[in-house]
């Protein structure tokens, strides 16, 4: 699981560390949910990308803001 968050790139109010930790928590929440629903823990990993890979770097709508807050599932093996 790869977590992403929405956040201003140029704003000094919150640091890169803040956004990275938020995205890590988002990713870990999905991993925890899957484990609780029967997926083996050994098959899952999580990481956070912060706000470094936003789909919409300058979101103009609430939908675009929401789209930046996401989880990507990367399958690395079966």
pLDDT the model gives residue 56: 93
pLDDT the model gives residue 12: 59
Residue 77 lies in a domain: no
Residue 78 lies in a domain: no
pLDDT, averaged across the chain: 90
- The boundaries of the domain holding residue 16 are 2-72
Residue 16 lies in a domain: yes
Report how far apart, in Å, the C-alpha atoms of 78 and of each of 10, 23, 43, 51, 75 are. 40, 25, 9, 29, 8
Domain CATH for 34: 3.30.1330.60
Domain count of the fold of the chain: 1
């Amino acid at each position: 699981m790869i977590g992403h968050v929405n956040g201003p790139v140029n704003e000094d109010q919150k640091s890169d560390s803040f956004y990275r930790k938020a995205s890590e928590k988002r990713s870990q929440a999905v991993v925890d949910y899957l484990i609780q629903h029967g997926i083996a823990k050994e098959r899952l990993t999580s990481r956070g990308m912060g706000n470094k890979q936003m789909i919409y770097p300058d979101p103009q709508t609430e939908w675009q803001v929401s789209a930046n807050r996401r989880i990507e599932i990367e399958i690395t093996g079966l």
